[in-house]
Structure 1
Amino acid sequence: MSHKALPPDTVTYNTLMQGLCQVGRPQEALNLFMEMCSYGLLPDLTTYSILLDGFCKHGHLDEALKLLKAMQEKKLEPNIVLYNILIEGMFIAGKLVVAEELFSRLFVDGIRPTLQTYSVMIKGLLKEGLSDEAYKLFRKMEDDGFTPDSCSYNVIIQGFLQNRDSSTAVQFIDEMVGKGFSVDSSTCQMLLDLESHDEIISRFLRGSSLGKKNELTFSYQVTL
């Protein structure tokens, strides 16, 4: 690439690295990163976001942390996009405490979390079986001025279903539908899978517990 008339720039390398990370080849993306730096091109936050996301999602946590340290040594501080990637990566690696520390650090560093940040945290807490903590964080998210969207609701509903708390899941479905949202296909499938051995879910699907509006919304999603 370097011998062509139009040498690649940082954007070119970012695009190539993103492609490699998306197909599960983050180490090759890192090799491109090293090549880019050797040509005097400066990586930006997008560069680090791409690589950190690739390493975290494919289980290369040590490499991700090394890259984060190298980034900070260059006086590039993580933005909210990077924090979201790192928090999700910690949950994937089973490092609950580190994920919670990163989330707390946001507020110390004066960085405002996003709806995605809360969704990542809630999903991670539910994955760890921490339903009470996830519920409290969902409500705190609302208190902090973030209005839950369809994705947020489906994340917490699926988590409670996975943790065998059908009662709370149904309460969230009722709340979600009341705000004009619908359960997605994954949530629908989970409900159908639980129908035969969960009386709460069975009553919900029969439309006897949550009302006609929920029943119609759910039927519409299943038809899709």
Structure 2
Amino acid sequence: MTARTTAPLAEAAALAWRADPYSDALRAGRGPLFLRRSDGWLLPLEVERWCAEADAADATVLARCEGPVLDLGCGPGRLVAALARLGQPALGVDVTPEAVARTVRTGGSALCRSVFEPLPSEGRWGTVLLVDGNIGIGGDPGALLRRAAELAAPGGTLLVEAAPVDVDERVEVHVEDGNGGRGADFPWARLGIRALRAQAADAGWTRAVTWQAAGRAFVQLRR
């Protein structure tokens, strides 16, 4: 993947979560906050869960982490902070300054940068995380999965949260708070387990293992 091909993805990913409604919600630690599609479809975002400590479903992800961990789209950093408390090296990456600041305040390490920009230790991360719907970053799951493969060490692990329903879509959405505040439109994607496994195989990921916890769906892959 060249700098020319990743530049538009980096720009789209950066625009996605720099909207004021998202930053305001993270600052407050609560919603309401939504993704709205151009046809009016609305997806509630679980800000309170993201800003809380890691829960039982998150623990099933943390238990599968191997080696140093890179959390792509870390948000307010609950997983990075949980890994730090376990003594496991971890770095969060997010384009939203408030998300990075909150991650640091909770005891994690984070970098304010797009996943498509140069990142530390590329090709040496034992585990890469894409949770809380972050397979949607940039609106091109194939490109994102290939980027994750560049970041992971040989034989490394990718842990992805999929949509809990059978879906495969690329859409334009924006963030809104339900009270008139909204951000710019940006590309997003949603994949269920079946679509995610197919996209991952095309990107060079193998040995898919799936599981569910608390109504959430996950896939573990190997580089």
Scaled by the length of structure 2, the TM-score of the pair is 0.29
Which protein is bigger by CA-based radius of gyration? 1
Q: Which has the higher strand share?
A: 2
Q: Which has the higher helix share?
A: 1
Scaled by the length of structure 1, the TM-score of the pair is 0.29
